């Protein structure tokens, strides 16, 4: 039986553990909150709860394969520093976080010096990955990808589709970074289009019906449109939803990469700027604009 150590059982990691277990993989699972690990092991026959990194590594047969599904940045860096001394030459470490590709490249070189394999995997699929499968973009050497392939095939929609050896270490996270930049642009275009239709009061448009219509044979049909059609069926006003959209890092990295490479990405970059504006980061600039209009034209200004 295939076996894997999986550290990080959040929304993505927990469902990945479930999909692997249901696909016949023995999953030695670890989470910072042990109660989460115990609950998952109670639900899934092939999931085994581990209390700490030492227990997880000890439970795996050499050569080991450990997959990290932790938040990118400090949490992942700390986990790699803690687990590397516990592993042995020939073991393989996989980082499935939405990490920065240059960090993956540095980690790969460091772990290579310790005799450890390293693969960075961009994972897309959200909370629907458990039932639909995940889209997986893997960066690493040929031998490491050959070892990882059976696990990717279980996680993917089918053994033949939904996973790719993108290139060397770093390419998995780079590809996922660009994927998320495109996602920003697609989401922004849909959101603006529906906002424009909702504002056209004279037509009294049923935007839920339009969303459903566009799902069928339209050029703009997509999973994002499917999701939009679903929530618009029950709520077309969204009055209880705060108009604040977070950005988790990938959009920023994509914009910076486009500057470094001199490749224009106006749609993705403007979508990122729109998210900043929703977070109130444009408020001071707007206050400045209001005061300038007051100064040159005596235009009225609002007060908080």
CA distance 262 to 41: 49
Catalytic residue among 176, 250, 303, 304: 176
Q: Among this protein's residues, is 176 annotated catalytic? A: yes
**Which is catalytic among the residues 38, 77, 183, 212?**
183
Tokens of 3: 């076996």
For residue 260, what are the contacts with CB-CB under 8 A and spacing of at least 6?
none
Known catalytic residues are 176, 183
């Amino acid at each position: 039986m295939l076996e894997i150590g999986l550290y990080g059982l959040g929304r993505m990691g927990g469902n990945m553990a479930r999909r692997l277990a249901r696909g016949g993989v023995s999953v030695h699972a670890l989470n910072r909150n042990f109660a989460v690990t115990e609950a998952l092991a109670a639900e899934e026959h092939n999931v085994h709860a581990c209390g700490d990194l030492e227990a997880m590594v000890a439970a795996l047969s050499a050569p080991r394969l450990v997959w990290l599904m932790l938040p990118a940045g400090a949490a992942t860096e700390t986990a790699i520093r803690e687990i590397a001394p516990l592993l042995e030459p020939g073991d393989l470490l996989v980082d499935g976080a939405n990490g920065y590709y240059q960090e993956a490249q540095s980690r790969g070189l460091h772990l290579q010096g310790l005799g450890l394999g390293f693969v960075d995997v961009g994972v897309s699929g959200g909370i629907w990955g458990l039932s639909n499968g995940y889209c997986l973009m893997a960066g690493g050497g040929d031998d490491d990808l050959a070892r990882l392939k059976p696990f990717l095939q279980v996680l993917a929609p089918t053994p033949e589709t939904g996973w790719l050896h993108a290139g060397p270490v770093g390419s998995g996270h780079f590809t996922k970074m660009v994927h998320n930049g495109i996602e920003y642009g697609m989401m922004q275009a849909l959101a603006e289009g529906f906002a424009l239709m909702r504002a056209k009061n004279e037509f009294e448009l049923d935007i839920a019906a339009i969303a459903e219509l566009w799902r069928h044979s339209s050029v703009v049909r997509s999973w994002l449109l499917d999701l939009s059609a679903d929530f618009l069926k029950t709520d077309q006003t969204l009055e209880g939803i705060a108009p604040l959209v977070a950005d988790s890092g990938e959009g920023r990295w994509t914009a910076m990469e486009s500057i470094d490479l001199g490749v224009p990405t106006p749609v993705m970059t403007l979508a990122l700027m729109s998210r900043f504006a929703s977070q109130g980061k444009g408020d001071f600039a707007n206050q400045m604009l209001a005061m300038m209009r007051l100064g040159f034209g005596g235009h009225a200004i609002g007060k908080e």
